[in-house]
Amino acid sequence: MSSNPSKRFSGQRVLITGASQGIGEATALYFAQEGARVALNGRKEDKLRIVQEKLPKVSAGEHVIAPGDISKEDAVEAIFAKSIQEMGGVDILICNAGYQIPSPSEDIKLSDFEGVMAVNVTGVMLSCRAALRHWLKEGIKGRIVVNSSVHQLIPKPHYLGYSASKGAVDNIVRTLALEYASRGIRVNAVAPGAIVTPINESWVNDPKQYEAVASHIPMKRPGESSDIAAAMGFLASDESAYVTGQTLYVDGGLTLYGDFEHNWSS
C-alpha cells in the first residue's frame, strides 16, 4: 500500500455507503484528498462512476465502485467482498446511506416505516457486521463512523420512522463501541443538523424557506456537506484515538435549545 505518507489517510482503505451524492459524496472527496483509497457504495452504478471520476487519484490504486442496496443481506456481502478484494481490505467504514419519508403519524404507511428502518437501521447493522467480521478475521483495528442526525435527540413530528431509526442508531453505536472496545475497534457517530444536500431540496432551492431554516439555527446558517465530512475524518483518524461510543453533533448549535438564547422563562 504505497502512497503519499504526508497525507492524513495515506494507505487507508475507506468504504462509504450512500456515496453517490450529498454528504456521502463530500466524505468520499474528503478521504481521497487526504490520501485514502475509497470504495463508493450506492444503488446506482452510473451515479457512482460520476463521483469516482471527480475524486483525486491516489497512488495505492483506483477508487472502487461497490453498488448495492444496503438493506439487503446478500447485497451487503457483495459490497464488502468487492471492496475487500479490490482494495486488499477495509480499514474504515462510513455508514452514511439513509433517507426519510414524511407523513402525519396517524397515516403512516407500514411499508414506508419499514422501508426507512430497513435502510437506516438494518442497513447500518448489516454493514457494521460485515466490517467487524472482516476486522476480527484479519486483526484490523477498524473504525466505524455512522451518519446519524440531530433527530436521534430532537423529536421530528411527521417523520416518525426517521426519528425512530436515528434513535436506534445511537444505541447501535454505543453497543458496538462497548462490545469491541477491548479489541481496538472504535465506533462513533456524527449527528448533522440541517445540511445543504439533495435530501433537503424542498428548502435549499427556495430562498424564503432557506431563510426560515437558517433563522432557527443559533449560528444562523445551514451546514455544508464538507462540515460533516471533516467531522467524519476526525472520528476516523488517530486524533480521536481515545474516543468511542460517542456522537459528535455538527449542527451550528441546533441542539443547544436556541429558544433559550434570550431569557424568557424566569
Q: So which residues are the catalytic ones?
A: 162
34 phi/psi in degrees, rounded to 5: -90, 15
Segment near ligand NAD (CB under 6 A), from 57-65, 175-183, 194-202, 235-243? 194-202
CB 77 within 8 Å of CB 69: no
Please give the single-letter amino acid code of residue 76: V
Give residues 204-263 in contact with ligand NAD (rule: CB under 6 A).
Answer: none
Nearest to 214 by CA among 201, 190, 196, 226: 196
Identify residue 165 by its one-letter amino acid code. Answer: S
Task: Work out whether 70 is an interface residue with ligand NAD (CB under 6 A).
Answer: yes
For ligand NAD, the binding residues in 119-178 under the rule CB under 6 A are 119, 123, 147, 149
Return the number of other C-beta atoms located less than 10 Å from residue 206's C-beta: 12
The type of residue at 260 is: F
By beta-carbon proximity to ligand NAD, the closer residue of 24 and 233 is 24
Q: Is there binding between residue 18 and ligand NAD (CB under 6 A)?
A: yes
Size of the residue set binding ligand NAD (CB under 6 A): 28
Question: Going residue by residue from 26 to 45, which x/- string records binding to ligand NAD, judged by CB under 6 A?
Answer: ---------------xxx--
Residue 24 interacts with ligand NAD (CB under 6 A): yes or no: yes
Nearest distance in Å: CB 67, ligand NAD = 8
**Checking phi first, is residue 233 left (phi over 0); if not, alpha (psi -120 to 50) or beta?**
alpha
Q: For residue 195, give the 3-state DSSP assignment.
A: strand
Report the interface residues with ligand NAD, using CB under 6 A: 17-18, 20-24, 41-43, 69-71, 96-99, 119, 123, 147, 149, 192, 194-195, 197-200
